Amino acid sequence: MFEATELNHRNQRTEKLWRLLFLMMTLLLILPVAVILTVLVVKGGPSLSIDFLFTEPTQGMTAGGILPALVGTVWLVVVALIASVPIGVAAALYLSEYAPDNWLTRIINLAIINLAGVPSIVHALFGVGAFVAFFRFGTSILAASLTLAVMTLPVVIVSTREALKAVPQAFREACWNMGATRWQTIRKVVLPNSVSGILTGVILEVSRTAGETAPIMFTGAAFFLPFLPQSVYDQTMALSLHLFVVSTQVPDVPEGLPFGVALVLIGLVLSMNAVSIGFRMVLRGKKKW
């Protein structure tokens, strides 16, 4: 029977101290989120009702509901996902599976990194020049969503590349030895085993897309439109812009109204993320490794 030495006791004490330190750091990260959610629930919870969610703003946006902003946010997120996810996944597939390591791919990788660091207001000005003026989409859901898609492309590309790299190289080599082409290997083996990681990027994109204000303020979001959009060429209200407006631009707003809008926005993002996470868990359970 072995007895613990002084060195073993010292190592155990050191491990406990590090564990306590990491626990404290985790709590410090969680605490602000918990405080924010608590404030929103306490101050914004009384404003939530069926009428608040399913009616239009009235009395100069000091009363009524947020239905146009809620529906408009869903429009913006869905169209941005449709535009960015296929392009981002395709770009990541090319860079990871096809592109050689040369000066061109290094420039492309550098451009992706730089694009991720561009402020959102710069993306807004790009969207105005490219989609509103040049392509003549006007101030519309389409122009705003494409601006958001460009802004979030680096997230999709980087997360997809990391997911593709996580698939063991032995899987590819086994397929090639069986006579499969590179595309057959990607379609039948690589993508099915990396789709859960790709969804991680989609989850991050949903969170950022729903909460952005500057890119949509100049390209498609309206200050006040008490009706629902009928197509991607219409303008729309959005929860993020509506929250900014009722918090800073509209006088005599009830105190709980901005908190209620913020609570709905966070709830919408969490709901979309929950669906994506659930789908990702199902796909992850089907992995062969």
Q: What is the pLDDT of residues 263-289, one digit of tens each?
A: 999 998 888 888 878 877 777 766 655
Q: What pLDDT, on the 0 to 100 scale, is given for residue 130?
A: 93
Collapse the DSSP code of 110 into the 3-class scheme (helix H, G, I; strand E, B; otherwise coil) and give the result. Answer: helix
CA distances from residue 193 to 161, 165, 199, 205, 287 in whole angstroms, order as listed: 13, 11, 12, 21, 6
Phi, psi angles (nearest 5°) of residue 200? -60, -45
Name all contacts of 18-21 with Cβ < 8 Å and 24+ positions apart.
none
Percent of the chain with pLDDT over 70: 97
**Mean pLDDT of the region 201-219:** 87
Q: What is the pLDDT of residues 11-48, one digit of tens each?
A: 888 999 999 999 999 999 899 989 999 999 999 999 88
Q: What pLDDT, on the 0 to 100 scale, is given for residue 281?
A: 78
List of E strands, the chain: 57-58, 63-64
Q: What pLDDT, on the 0 to 100 scale, is given for residue 289?
A: 57
Q: What pLDDT, on the 0 to 100 scale, is given for residue 287?
A: 62
* pTM for this entry: 0.87
| Whether pLDDT at 3 is above 80 | no
Q: What is the pLDDT of residues 96-131, one digit of tens each?
A: 888 888 888 889 888 888 888 888 899 999 999 999
Q: What is the pLDDT of residues 76-102, one digit of tens each?
A: 999 999 999 999 999 999 998 888 888
